[in-house]
Structure 1
Amino acid sequence: MTEHLLGGHLRNPTSAELIENAASLNSRPSELRITDMRIAVVTGICYYPLIRIETNQGLYGLGEIRDGGHPESALQLKHFLLGQNPCNVDMIFNVMRRFGGHGREGGGVSGIEIALWDLVGKAYGVPCHQFFGGRYRDRVRIYSDTPAPTEMTPDAYAKAVKARADMGFDFIKFDLPPRLFEATADGLMGSPTRHEYDLAKAVRVPGSGPGARISEKGIEAAVETVRAVRAEVGSDVSLCVDHFGEGYVTADEAIRIGRALEPFNLAWVEDPVSWSDIAGHRKVADALLTPVAGGEDLYLWDGFREAIETRAFDILHPDLLTSGGMLETKRIADYGNRYGLPTALHSCCSPIGFMANVHCAASIQNLMAVEHHGLDVPFWGDLVTGLADDYLTDGYVEVPTAPGLGLDLNLDVVEANLREPNTLFQSTEAWSKRKIGFERVDPPRYQTQLVR
């Protein structure tokens, strides 16, 4: 046994000493301090704002803001982070959480949380999933997103989904967006004025515009599309659909569409009504035999609590780049598991966010699958190092065992695909200063004395 000499006597080292001495660092995890945070925004499906949190020991952690989110949602929190030990993830998270919100507004808090865990994993030489209780599986099942084809015919849909199946996926999602009903002759009842039509498309207000009057022909178009896809891929592939809701249709119309699709045994219909309408989701879920998945825009465990306790969702579907990061999403899934609800993870992100999903998914007992939304971005896998060319095998991804997320950025590829040229991790010094109206205090009093 390893022993230490103290005052002329041998003694056994403490657990803390063993851990810190095992970590290969310039100093020790207890002496780590955050010195900077920078962001690089990469194009992709929408765009990916990537976070890099730097420390006094040369270690850095990588995270990601929700696709299409604002870098400022993370930058506004930089002055809280400076000087803090990144290993105190839960304390820092509980200070930050009040500055996030639903949808893309949760991206800053969630992205920073991921970067902190990546940093801590590197400091201790441990993969991120180990911090969440270890893993339930060595491989994580992936479901592939399939965007709606330009020409939205049943045959075009069938070919698009079959192409995913030919890549080895046996769990595939495809979109039935509002424009499918708009493009169908007589798919919508009524003739709104141009102003009403444009307004309804822009904000998707339930009960306004053409979306409140989907006709039988509109429903038939959805049915024929799903029928063609199911016939093409057969019964060995799990299928699910997305996007016909999201506030575009009322709960009653979502029920009409959902019932018409029941003969095709879908794994779920996703977000059939507006994300914030928990009662509407429950109404649809109670009326359908097909499971309803929802939650990609909900923030924190608090945001999911009502939906879980009232069983408004049959399947929890958080996006951890909104829901609060990896540990908070694990907490959401665990709470859902108490009510017998499975969890699938929504994911539209770069390999950084995707691998955060894989680590989180490995630690979730009631996992169904994790979404992959980067298959149509040619340079997606090249954005990072540490991701094998064959990372995706037969619809599964191996859970990494390398420290942290197990990835690093390929800066040449990142720089070549920046949303704005010459903006690779530029200085964010302007966000280092305390903002007027806030007081930053020392960690022991952090939560009680942060005042507005």
Structure 2
Amino acid sequence: MKITGIRTFLMHAGQPDPSKWASDGHASHVTQHKLEGTRNWLFLKIETDEGITGIGECSGWPRVIETAIKDIAPLLIGEDPAHIEKLWQKMQIAMMGHGMLGTVGAGAMTGIDMALWDIKGKALGVPVWMLLGGKLRDRIPIYSHANTAERALAVKERGIKTIKCGGVSDPVRKVAMLRETVGDEMDIAIDLHGPPWMTPADACRLVRALEPYELLWVEDPIAPDNIEGYRRIRDAAHIPLASGERTATIFGERQLIEEELVDVIQPDTGRAGGITQMKKIAAMAEAHHIQMAPHSGSLGPVAEYAALHVLASIPNALILERIDDDWEGRRHTIVPHPVQEGGSIAVPDAPGLGCDIDEEFVVRFPSEGNVSVPVQESAKSYNPGTYGERLYVQTRLSRRSYFNP
């Protein structure tokens, strides 16, 4: 079998709230004019001379990655898609001359790698999880997002047992409210979104203030490039830490895992480097007793399918992020839609990934922009009076109000 071509499908996907860091997870709606937000989904299909087609999804900066895929494609034409590791290495070597491209380069390789696994599964007539060593579980637990009492109760009523809130502006009071709302039966996590204005000293204090609420984890308490800061938080706090969504490949996740700076590693299934890298990251984490909970907050449904196969096949799978009601178009993008019952999703059994996109539906939503707008001033993520400065690094004021319930 030989690769004969690669086609890309870039679409604009609606999202709950353009404020990003303060999103409450409510569904938005398709209009006949302009879609909300700047989220794009990028899918691709690898075609072969035997008529078998593989599908993948790329994240990390979809509009830029689409160009990267077109640049990489000639390297893959004529290659045997069965040799997945060989082709991954070939792509990595081809791009390294441009510098270490991080999630952009890895995002391009991710979709291609995902599609190669899909092709192999279809060619052999088995699901991808079978190629990864078989499955340990038939269902994958999920969590949803909630920032209000109403949303938390709605999630609880659906049988989902874990929620995560976003906590840039008022984290301690928000967690206290959610714990009082849902009781002790549900797990709660909080995503601090890696704010560069959060110093390690402040993060240590904040994480200690959250200890009484017995959280599943505190995610990205500081900027991801501040590794030394993670060491300080690890030494100061007695609460599970999670991170890893903004880096890619085993090389990007290495320090968090090898230095045991986190309890939960969160590679993004659309930009971590593909199923090949996800499996390796999971193995690295297992050796350090670290659980895996892939990031999926901004991804489309093809990457979600890939995450299900990986989580089914690894021993240290914890949970999968899922916002299934973020945009009504999600259900129309994929065929078939994942089967969710209560707080878990069934692992697919069809050959390959077990899904495909509706190309006619996808083409109806051309990209309208893919650069995040600054968080809205009403989200209170910045110090009063500094919103217009758009600072990457900023020290927090009003400290007493911020750190107390």
Q: C-alpha displacement at 1:104, in angstroms?
A: 3.9
* Contiguous gaps of at least 5 residues in structure 1: 1-31, 149-156, 181-220, 422-452
Cα deviation for residue 224 of structure 1 reads 1.5
The 1-side partners of 2:161 and 2:174 are apart by: 19
2:346 aligns to what?
Answer: 398
Question: Given the alignment, which residue of 144, 147, 161 partners 1:170?
Answer: 161
Kept after mapping to 1: 8 A contact 2:269/2:304: no
Amino acid across the alignment from 1:56: D
Cross-structure match for 2:11: 42
- What is the aligned partner in structure 2 of residue 297 from structure 1? 246
Contact 1:133 1:363 in 2 (8 A): yes
Larger radius of gyration: 1
Match of 2:56 among 63, 67, 83: 63
Give the TM-score normalised by structure 2: 0.79
- Structure-2 residue corresponding to 1:385: 335
2:74 to 79, 82, 86: 79
Moved more, 237-246 or 113-122: 237-246
- Distance in 1 (alpha carbons) for counterparts of 2:324 and 2:226: 29
Q: For the structure 1 residues 368 and 252, does the alpha-carbon distance in structure 2 shift closer, same or farther, using more than 3 Å as the test?
A: same
Deviation at 1:385, TM superposition (A): 1.4
Deviations 1:130-178 (A, max 9, x none): 11111111111112134x5xxxxxxxx222222222222111111113x
Structure-1 residue corresponding to 2:286: 337
Residues in 2 aligned to 1:365 and 1:308: alpha-carbon distance in whole angstroms: 16
Residues 63 and 111 in structure 1, CA contact (< 8 A), matched pair in contact too:
yes
- Does residue 150 of structure 2 align to residue 159 of structure 1? yes
Q: In 2 relative to 1, CA 246–73 (structure 1 residues): closer, same or farther, beyond 3 Å?
A: farther
Distance 1:143 1:104 in 2: 27
Is 1:124 the counterpart of 2:107? The answer is no
Tell me, yes or no, if the aligned pair for 2:194 and 2:224 is still in contact at 8 Å. Answer: no
Does 2:310 correspond to 1:360? yes
More off after superposition, 43-52 vs 363-372: 43-52
Q: Distance in 1 between matches of 2:256 and 2:201?
A: 19
Q: Check conservation: 1:143, 1:370, Cα contact below 8 A.
A: yes
* Superimposed CA distance per residue, residues 204-262 of structure 1 (whole angstroms, 9 cap, x where no aligned partner): xxxxxxxxxxxxxxxxx422211111111111111111135332311111111111111
User: What amino acid is aligned across from residue 277 of structure 2 in structure 1?
Assistant: E
1:282 Cα deviation after fit: 2.2
2:71 and 2:233 map into 1 onto residues whose CA distance is 38
User: Which residue of structure 2 aligns with residue 260 of structure 1?
Assistant: 209
Comparing both chains, which one has the higher relative contact order based on Cα–Cα distances under 8 Å and sequence gaps of 6 or more? 2
Q: Deviations over 1:308-328 (max 9, x none)?
A: 121111211111222211121
Is 2:192–2:222's contact at 8 Å kept on the other side of the alignment? no
Alignment partners' CA distance in 1, 2:102 and 2:196: 16
- Look up the SS of the partner of 1:416 in the other structure: coil
- Return the alpha-carbon distance in structure 1 between the equivalents of residues 331 and 61 of structure 2: 19
Amino acid at match of 2:48: T
User: Which residue of structure 2 lines up, in the alignment, with residue 408 of structure 1?
Assistant: 356
Query: Residues 57 and 334 from structure 1, CA distance in 2 versus in 1: closer, same or farther, beyond 3 angstroms?
Result: same
Which segment drifts farther, 226-235 or 246-255?
A: 246-255
2:114 matched residue in structure 1 = 114
Given the two structures, how large is their TM-score scaled by the length of structure 1?
0.71
Counterpart of 2:2 in structure 1 is: 33
Describe how 1:244-255 pairs up with structure 2 within 5 A.
244-255=193-204
Contact 2:60 2:103 in 1 (8 A): no
CA distance in 2, matches of 1:114, 1:244: 27
Per the alignment, residue 390 of structure 2 pairs with none
Stretches of structure 2 lacking an aligned partner (at least 5 in a row): 16-38, 370-405
User: Does residue 234 of structure 2 align to residue 285 of structure 1?
Assistant: yes
Look up the SS of the partner of 1:345 in the other structure: coil
In structure 1, what residue type is equivalent to 2:72? Answer: L
Mark the CA change 1:344 to 1:121 in structure 2 (over 3 Å): closer, same or farther: same
Instruction: Determine the structure 2 residue equivalent to 1:196.
Output: none
CA distance in 2 between partners of 1:247 and 1:142 (Å): 28
Percent of paired sites with the same residue:
31
